[in-house]
């Protein structure tokens, strides 16, 4: 099982340097960001599929949600709940 760091205090986002974040939201055990380029990155606890990577794998590393890219969708806004992630997209 993967170890996932849960922090109760602010932490720097570890994203590729060329990305500019336009929105961020935190669930109880996961985080999601939308970039100015319309991409969605998620990380944290993924037991219920809330990371959007079409699996239940948890990760401490931010990963781009490839499903949105494959469908040609542009992420505009993200809101995380305790075990969910909601994304507003443009086609």
pLDDT digits (tens, 9 = 90+) for 64-86: 999 999 999 999 999 999 999 99
Residues in the chain: 91
Which region among 7-11, 12-16, 68-72, 85-89 has the lowest average model confidence (pLDDT)?
Answer: 7-11
Q: 36: phi > 0 → left, psi -120 to 50 → alpha, else beta; which?
A: alpha
**What's the mean pLDDT when you consider all of the chain?**
89
Spatial neighbors of 12 by CB under 8 A, at least 6 apart, are none
Domain ranges across the chain: 21-90
Strand segments (E) across the chain: 21-26, 30-35, 40-44, 59-64, 74-80, 85-90
Confidence band of 34 (pLDDT split at 50, 70, 90)? very high
Nearest Cα to Cα of residue 27 among 2, 58, 55, 70 = 58
- Tell me the torsion sign for CA atoms 42, 46, 49, 53: positive
């Amino acid at each position: 099982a993967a170890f996932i760091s849960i922090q109760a205090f602010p932490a720097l986002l570890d994203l590729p340097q060329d990305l500019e974040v336009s929105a961020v939201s935190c669930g109880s055990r996961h985080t999601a960001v939308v970039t100015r380029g319309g991409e969605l990155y998620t990380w944290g606890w993924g037991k219920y599929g809330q990371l959007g990577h079409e699996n239940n794998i948890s990760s401490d590393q931010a990963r781009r949600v490839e499903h949105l890219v494959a469908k040609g969708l542009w992420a505009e806004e993200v809101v995380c709940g305790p075990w969910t992630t909601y994304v507003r997209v443009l086609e």
